[in-house]
Amino acid sequence: MQRRLKSTRRAASWVAAAAVALLTPIEPMPDAHAAARRPVDGEALISAADDLTDWLTHGRTYDEQRFSPLERINTGNVKNLGLAWFADLDTARGQEATPLVIDGAVYITTAWSKVKAYEAVSGKLLWEYDPKVPGEAGVLACCDVVNRGLAAWGHRLYLGTLDGRLIALDRETGRLIWWKLTVDRSKPYAITGAPRVIDGRVIIGNAGAEMGVRGYVAAYDSKDGKELWRFYTVPDRRGANVARHLKRAEATWKGEWWTLGGGGTVWDSMAYDPKLDLLYVGVGNGSPWNQAYRSPGGGDNLYICSIIALKPQTGEYVWHYQTTPGDTWDFDATQHIILADLQIGGRVRRVLMQASKNGFFYVLDRVTGQLISAANYVAVNWAKGIDVHSGRPIENPDARIDKTGKPYVVVPGPGGAHSWQPMAYDPRTGLVYIPAQEAGFPYVPEAHWQGAAQGFNTGIDFPAAAMPADPKVRAAVMAATKGALIAWDPIAQQERWRVAFKGPWNGGVLATGGGLVFQGNAAKEFVAYDAVSGAQLWSSSVQTGITAAPVTYSIKGEQYVAVLAGWGGIWALAPGILAEVAGPVRNVSRLLVFRLGASAQLPPESPVPLPPLDPPATTGTPEQIAEGARQYGRFCGGCHGDAAYGSTVLPDLRRSALIADSKAWASVVHDGVLRDQGMVGFANVLNLQQIEAIRHYVIKRANEDKALGLR
């Protein structure tokens, strides 16, 4: 068994093409018109809870509660909410960013790491910035070419780009001030998360654990991008770890994990407590998923799937809590982290809360990391519960596919019971509002797995887990795949109300002082609910799915609610037919802004464009088709859909004219002639015979679906 990633892994070809942008140092430029604007400084961010005008940081406040006291829009008048303005975007991929609102301007990032600024009342475009992320960088991201937002400090804005740059822009003009390459470009790192800034330190992690990288989070000087500290989340080769926390972690790993990267990327959630001066980060899954390959012999594999407290000035380790020790199911702990003070057991506790991907809601003491309580907020079968004394899950041995070597349908699956979509906490109701989902997954260990230089490296046999062309099986699985907005009492660890959705992958959440909870969904609606009862009070059709979280702001006494709309992300791409549980959704990327009494109208909705399902006849041999299924599941399904059932976001290969032309197909899949559009070639991991086998598999799948009368 080959345990080492191919030594031929090299920097992607686009590095050379983008050498000027990536490798030529840029001297920091002065800010334009700085004196005309108020700076966003530590005082402003620490007191952001009292700011009734702006939305200064990703979660509105350092504690990431996503609650605004604004009450001009409330349960009594929300029925009068209307569209004030909208702005169409030029990136028809997933939109996941939380807007910032500062001094009368709305700032957003879009797919492909672009930035736009709008006048907050009228929607007038003020400026836009394109970092020109090469299309080939799309292969670096597991889960669409998304970006979740900006950070503000002083008179500047900061963002991470998909290709691993940290960029500083002038807030007034959008002019580039400096950039810093934060990753080793010879490895498949990407950035999709929003930075945070603490005392002039811009903090950002990265993604890539599915591909085979070693995770870390780092701080950079806001003035010039100089790296100030770097905190690795998993140990390096045995005996090479100097940092004390990594020396302790080394004993929890087996084998030669460093040859596979290890994983543990910090790709999304962070929160900060200024009084304790502690930064909290969520750490992702191990690489590969299957622990039998990553760490043969087991072990907790610190610090994957953990919440870690750090000193933001130095990156010093303070404490950790591991939600899923020795994870083998892709149960990241990168979900939204919320800080609050709760009355528990007769005294006020400073707590940290997370609705984890693994299905359990955790309440931790954020001073010490001690587990206070945990309970499942959706159905789970990988564990019977969490032992409150040890803090460890009480695992179901049958779910340990790395130890049994046998397939098992685990609930929740790798999409998680809660993914990156932010939740919200309303201190007035005492409830946390969770965008939850319920979907299992058949984890099948991949026999004789070997790491590859490109694509997913999970150790899971995706082809064996693919949806069969069986209407009864499909119907049963789709019926069991659901979504919900859950109002959760974190003290009692109980559900107070639930709004059920047809399918998963619904949007992030905002709670307001008007007694409202706002959320967009996969059914093309933006909705306001009563925060106490869950009753739907208002909705607006938005023509596309919403996964991003809303924000609210006030200008001259008028309250606005803004949200990015645009269908995409991993659930919109990878699950095949399951992505359509709530119906087929077309991507229409827009920024939408609402206020009371407004009456703007969206253009008429266009139908979902569907080329005919008219494939050539199936001519591949059974052996070819079986080989094609194996290779498709490993290298293609993450973007083009499980069992070649494509989305409305990326090309549906069953309908592609390329499948009728072997040479044209090879020119794309092998040679990469469409690399600038994001479709790189796979010549370094697939030979021409395997690529031809994939074509025959896609043809077979297209004919199966045509025979079933599917779209």
What integer pLDDT is reported at residue 19 of this predicted model? 39
Structure tokens belonging to residue 184: 């080793």
pLDDT digits (tens, 9 = 90+) for 158-207: 999 999 999 999 999 999 999 999 999 999 999 999 999 999 999 999 99
Q: Do domains 417-440+483-608 and 447-479+609-711 have the same CATH topology?
A: no
pLDDT digits (tens, 9 = 90+) for 654-703: 999 999 999 999 999 999 999 988 899 999 999 999 999 999 999 999 99
Query: How far is the C-alpha of 59 from the C-alpha of 47, rounded, in Å?
Result: 13
Helix/strand/coil for 312: coil
Distance between alpha carbon 429 and the CA centroid of its chain, in Å?
28
Q: Average pLDDT for residues 536-546, to the nearest whole number?
A: 97
- Where does the pLDDT of residue 481 fall: very low under 50, low under 70, confident under 90, or very high at 90 and above? very high
- Where does the pLDDT of residue 32 fall: very low under 50, low under 70, confident under 90, or very high at 90 and above? very low
Q: Which CATH superfamily is domain 195-376+379-410 in?
A: Quinoprotein alcohol dehydrogenase-like superfamily (2.140.10.10)
CB contact at 8 A, 257 and 241: no
- Where does the pLDDT of residue 610 fall: very low under 50, low under 70, confident under 90, or very high at 90 and above? confident
Please choose, from the candidates 184, 131, 134, the residue with its C-alpha nearest in 3D space to the C-alpha of residue 160: 131
Q: Average pLDDT for residues 417-430, to the nearest whole number?
A: 98
| pLDDT higher than threshold 60 for residue 11 | no
Q: Is the peptide bond before 463 cis (omega within 30 degrees of 0)?
A: no
Residues above pLDDT 90, as percent of the chain: 90
Helix/strand/coil for 577: helix
Residues above pLDDT 70, as percent of the chain: 95
Q: Average pLDDT for residues 549-571, to the nearest whole number?
A: 97
- Where does the pLDDT of residue 606 fall: very low under 50, low under 70, confident under 90, or very high at 90 and above? confident
Query: How far is the C-alpha of 364 from the C-alpha of 384, rounded, in Å?
Result: 20
Question: Residue 552: beta bridge partners?
Answer: 561
Q: Cα-atom radius of gyration of the chain, to the nearest Å?
A: 24
pLDDT digits (tens, 9 = 90+) for 438-470: 999 999 999 999 999 898 999 999 999 999 999
Q: Average pLDDT for residues 99-103, to the nearest whole number?
A: 98
Render 16-44 in DSSP notation, one character per residue: HHTHHHHHS--PPPPPSSGGGS--B-HHH
| pLDDT higher than threshold 50 for residue 35 | no
Q: Average pLDDT for residues 226-253, to the nearest whole number?
A: 97
Give me the CATH topology for the region 447-479+609-711. Cytochrome Bc1 Complex; Chain D, domain 2 (1.10.760)
| pLDDT higher than threshold 70 for residue 22 | no
Question: Residues in the chain, how many?
Answer: 711
What integer pLDDT is reported at residue 647 of this predicted model? 86
Task: Find the distance separating the first CA and the last CA of the chain, reported in whole Å.
Answer: 41
**Category of 77 on φ-ψ map: left (φ > 0), alpha (ψ -120 to 50) or beta:** alpha
What integer pLDDT is reported at residue 21 of this predicted model? 43
Higher pLDDT, 30 or 639: 639
Q: Average pLDDT for residues 495-509, to the nearest whole number?
A: 97
User: How many of the other CB atoms lie within 10 Å of CB of 52?
Assistant: 16
Q: Using alpha carbons only, give the angle 677, 652, 481 rounded to the nearest 5 degrees.
A: 120
Sheet strands side by side (includes 482-489): 424-426, 431-438, 482-489, 494-501
| pLDDT higher than threshold 60 for residue 34 | no
What integer pLDDT is reported at residue 29 of this predicted model? 56
User: How many of the other CB atoms lie within 10 Å of CB of 487?
Assistant: 25
| pLDDT higher than threshold 60 for residue 36 | no
| pLDDT higher than threshold 50 for residue 482 | yes
470 is catalytic: no
- Where does the pLDDT of residue 28 fall: very low under 50, low under 70, confident under 90, or very high at 90 and above? low
Query: How far is the C-alpha of 117 from the C-alpha of 115, rounded, in Å?
Result: 7
| pLDDT higher than threshold 80 for residue 17 | no
Q: Average pLDDT for residues 379-383, to the nearest whole number?
A: 98
Query: How far is the C-alpha of 559 from the C-alpha of 595, rounded, in Å?
Result: 6
Cβ neighbors of 76 (< 8 A, separation 6 or more) are none
What integer pLDDT is reported at residue 612 of this predicted model? 85
Q: Please provide the average confidence, as pLDDT, over all residues in the chain.
A: 93
Query: How far is the C-alpha of 638 from the C-alpha of 571, rounded, in Å?
Result: 10
Q: How far is CA 443 from CA 114, 409, 577, in A?
A: 36, 6, 18
Query: How far is the C-alpha of 323 from the C-alpha of 303, rounded, in Å?
Result: 10
| pLDDT higher than threshold 80 for residue 419 | yes
Catalytic member of 63, 330, 642, 705: 330
CATH class of 417-440+483-608: mainly beta
- E strands, 233-333, are 262-263, 270-273, 278-282, 286-287, 306-311, 316-322
What integer pLDDT is reported at residue 711 of this predicted model? 67
- 6-10, 115-119, 273-277, 669-673 — which is least confidently predicted? 6-10
| pLDDT higher than threshold 60 for residue 9 | no
* Residue ranges of domains in the chain: 195-376+379-410, 417-440+483-608, 447-479+609-711
Cβ neighbors of 591 (< 8 A, separation 6 or more) are 86, 87, 89, 99, 106, 108, 116, 118, 123, 562, 563, 564, 565
pTM for the whole thing?
0.95
Question: Residue 373: beta bridge partners?
Answer: 363
